[in-house]
Structure 1
């Protein structure tokens, strides 16, 4: 049985564990293409811009104050777009000023897509 204390012993060729990394990358690539991309492509350009800007936000949850700092859009425009993203089923409102993605691991997809890390 593989246990955490054996991680330090994985030098060189870790055997079957080595093969898991390409499979994981292929799985993410397939999810990106077949599951997540469709959620973004159906949005307007403004909605896409705002959604992609959320990749740089800390999560969970998304906070509108954080989004405002990372977007050049006006506060009113951000509020309207967040409402539209909620109506589209991409986000859901947790409470005033806080949102979460409806799809699991969607934030990680946006980070991969934009190449930006949360700050």
Structure 2
């Protein structure tokens, strides 16, 4: 009962508005058509692009030097040996037989039983 009374009261209060907030406030035309202003930190770029260019090139050289300092982790011989070992182990698992297992007789399609390679 108390819940219903609360909902009815809130419904009545919601209907007691003047309707002035039915639409969003619009942006004044003078503000829309005004020339854009630059923030304070962008003042050097407004007069010359040299400081910005120097900062970008400096950061680029720092990034390039950091990337050059990272050793090349790719060892193709080690990766090839690892891939061959994984293929050998996968083939050995595929070739395991379960003929003595009563739960997985030969040719079984049970989800837990190993399936022959295609």
Bin for the TM-score computed over the shorter chain: under 0.3
Give the structure with the higher percent helix.
Answer: 1
Bigger Cα Rg: 2
Higher relative contact order (CA 8 A, sep 6+): 1
TM-score (normalizing by structure 2): 0.25
